[in-house]
Amino acid sequence: MNKFATNARISAAVGAGLWLAFLFIHTSDSSETELIEKILLLGILVIVPLGLSLVPESKESDSMLYRLSVSAQPVAAVASAVSFLLDPGGPAAVLVSSWLLVSVVIGLFGLVRVINRGSVFSREVSIDAGMLYLPVGAAWLLASRLGIQPMGFGDTIVLLTAVHFHFAGFAAPLLAGMAGRGLVRSASLSRVFGLAVICIIGGTPLVAAGITFSPTLALIGAAIISVGLILLAVLVLGWVVRSVNSFIAQTLLVVSSLSSVVAMILACLYAYSLVAKTVIVDIPQMALSHGVLNSFGFALCGLLAWSLSLRQRIRESAGE
């Protein structure tokens, strides 16, 4: 594994320790907001660096943008975590602006990968999309730490949008791309995978747009993402798991896939409740159920699985 990819994994491990410490620190007077902030901090401190460690192939880890992303990410992540100890306003926004800058660099790395690949469709496009979505989440985080409410949204919606683009925007496409790398090359499976990727990438902005303009649009977006993630779960459970050479990694992939299915069913129920104007699942319940399943079950377990699988392959290659 390249030095910078290794550094990204170390950053994720250290970030996990810092995140555990933050569990004992109150960052909000509201238990609902507290949980959402802790999930977002997991994305910043653990999910993003762990995802970055898996991105590069061949000589991509030598890219200046990749090296800069990995080197600056720990500093920006810690600064962002500290910002939650402050009230929303200028000082908190200054600290979290570093995360926006790092996210933009990560997005540029994804854009360069797209440009270098040209018009040829690749399974890597899903990973690129995840990196391109990350700056959007960082921008909403900045708005939250500034204490502003774009388009009249409440504080909770602004924070949830930041969470959405760190997990559904960044982690989900990246996990789809990792599954694509391990998927058996066949025409039928490639078509199913392509449809899953289109749904995951396309549904993410639809949900965000639906929050802004229409609950119906949000429901359509949630349904599209759900189709993509269910298809992905079928591919992972049916074919991809067989290519993984670690029992622990296989178990984590199963947990990740099943968690994503349950989480998206809950997301559709919540979106439908907004359209029908009847409470089926409210925001606090969504944070406890969908939020935890999506962040820990789907994203964290999935990324850990691919990280363990990669380490196992490196060990086996070294032993040959």
Tell me how far apart the alpha carbons of residues 195 and 178 are, in angstroms, rounded to a whole number.
Answer: 15
pTM (two decimals): 0.95
pLDDT computed for residue 1 by the predictor: 63
Q: What is the pLDDT of residues 283-310, one digit of tens each?
A: 888 988 999 999 999 999 999 999 999 8
Q: What is the pLDDT of residue 318?
A: 63
Question: Where do we find the tokens 């950053």?
Answer: 11
pLDDT at position 150 is 82
> Residue 154: what are its φ and ψ, rounded to 5°?
-75, 165
Instruction: State the burial class of residue 120 (Cβ atoms within 10 Å of its Cβ: 0-12, 13-18, 19+).
Output: exposed
- Those residues of the chain that have pLDDT short of 50 are 320
> HEC string of 253-269?
HHHHHHHHHHHHHHHHH
Query: In angstroms, rounded to a whole number, what is the distance separating the alpha carbons of residues 4 and 71?
Result: 8
- What tokens does 237 get? 């459970």
Residue-wise over 275-301: b if at least 16 C-beta within 10 A, else e?
A: eeeeeebebbbbbebbbbbbbebbbbb
* pLDDT computed for residue 208 by the predictor: 82
Instruction: Dump the DSSP string for 28-43.
Output: -SSHHHHHHHHHHHHI
Measured at the alpha carbon of residue 318, what is the angle toward residues 306 and 300, in degrees to the nearest 5? 15
Contact 257, 236 (CB under 8 A): yes
Q: How far is CA 311 from the centre of its chain?
A: 21
Residue 233 gets the label, from left (phi > 0), alpha (psi -120 to 50) or beta, of alpha
